[in-house]
Amino acid sequence: MRLRVYRYDGKEEGYDDFTVPDKEGQTVLDALFFIQEELDDSLSFRYSCRGAVCGSCAMLIDKVPRLACRTQVQEVKEEEVDIARYQALEEGKSVSDDHILIEPLPHLEVKKDLVVDMDKFFENYGKIEPWIEAKKGLEKEHLMDPKRVRELEDYTNCIMCAACFGSCPVNGEKEGYLGPAALAKLYRFHKDPRDKRERLYLADHENGWWACDFYTNCRTVCPKDVPPNLGIGNARRELESEEDED
């Protein structure tokens, strides 16, 4: 298989083509390591767990944000991913049948090759104050209904890989938009019965809940099946009904 890989060294940008031998079960991350170890050791990309739990290796693979470690080389061309297309997923080199196109995640500044600046993503996450105020010296756990745990798990499963951020047309248009992951986290804390704070207001503005246009790309590309769109919809309904009561 051939891979066409985006390159940027701080000055010049472009694409390099590499041929990687076909191997059963080979992931895109394996292929990138093959390139790095055998063909061109100047290639930079992030990695850690290689098992789709750490969130390091989200990138554009054939114009779809995915984890490189979870994407099988042989399946890229077979898998149909139904997401709304927009400028960030159209520009650059185009997808073709004779190679897999590997590019950095959109909406984040490229530092080198496939390495992007994640600061903006984590700053947005920080804005929703993602923590519970812990009490000390308590002798028992809070009791929690197992059903509520399952609801929360839909959101706590987020691995902060930013695939959603890189797939969202609104993030492409609005510089300040918090993005799906941060909003999903905020919703998770809002729904946590242990968290006594009023929270929804933290995103009750034009760059928060109200910016989402429900393209649902976020949910489609999430490697952990987190549904930010549902959390955002629920939060909006709650805010609207509060307003009605006022």
Partner 1 sequence: MKEHDIYEHEVLVIGGGLSGLRAALASLEEGADVAVISKVHPLRSHSVAAQGGINASLGNAPKAENDTWKDHAFDTVKGSDYLADQDAVEVMCKEAPDVVLELEHMGTVFSRLDDGKIAQRPFGGAGVPRTCYAADRTGHNLLHTLYEQNISEDLTFYNEYFVTSLVRKNGRILGCVSWDFEEGKVVGFASNVVILATGGYGRIYNRSTNALINTGDGAMLAYDVGVPLEDMEFIQFHPTTLYGSNILITEGARGEGGYLLNSEGERFMENYAPEAMELAPRDIVARAIITETEDGRAFEDEFVHLDITHLGESKIKERLPGIRQIAKDFAGIEPVQEPIPVQPGQHYSMGGIDVDTFGRTCIDGLFAVGECACVSVHGANRLGGNSLLETVVFGRRAGEKASEQLDERGSYDMNMIQEKMEEDRRMIDALLNTTEGSPYSEVMGDLRETMFEHFGVYRNEGSMKEGLLKLKQIKEDYDSIKIDNENRRFNTALVRALELRSMIKVAETVVLGSLKRKESRGSHYRRDYPERNDEKYLQHSIFTKTEDGPEVDYEEVTITQFKVKERGY
Determine phi and psi for 71, rounding to 5 degrees. -105, 120
Yes or no: say if 57 and 67 are a contact pair by the CB < 8 Å rule.
yes
> In angstroms, what is the minimal distance from the CB of 232 to partner 1?
20
Nearer to partner 1, 17 or 119 (CB): 119
> In angstroms, what is the minimal distance from the CB of 49 to partner 1?
5
Distance CA 115, CA 45 (A): 5
> In angstroms, what is the minimal distance from the CB of 160 to partner 1?
6
Nearer to partner 1, 177 or 189 (CB): 189
Yes or no: say if 164 and 217 are a contact pair by the CB < 8 Å rule.
yes
Nearer to partner 1, 84 or 115 (CB): 115
Helices and strands, number each (H, E), in the chain: 7, 7
> In angstroms, what is the minimal distance from the CB of 236 to partner 1?
24
3-class SS letters over 117-152: CCHHHHHHHHHCCCCCCCCCCCCCCCCCCHHHHHHH
Nearer to partner 1, 93 or 193 (CB): 193
Which residues here bind partner 1, judged by CB under 8 A?
9-10, 25, 36-38, 40-56, 70, 111-113, 115, 118, 122, 126, 129-136, 138-146, 149-150, 152-153, 156-157, 159-160, 189, 192, 194-195
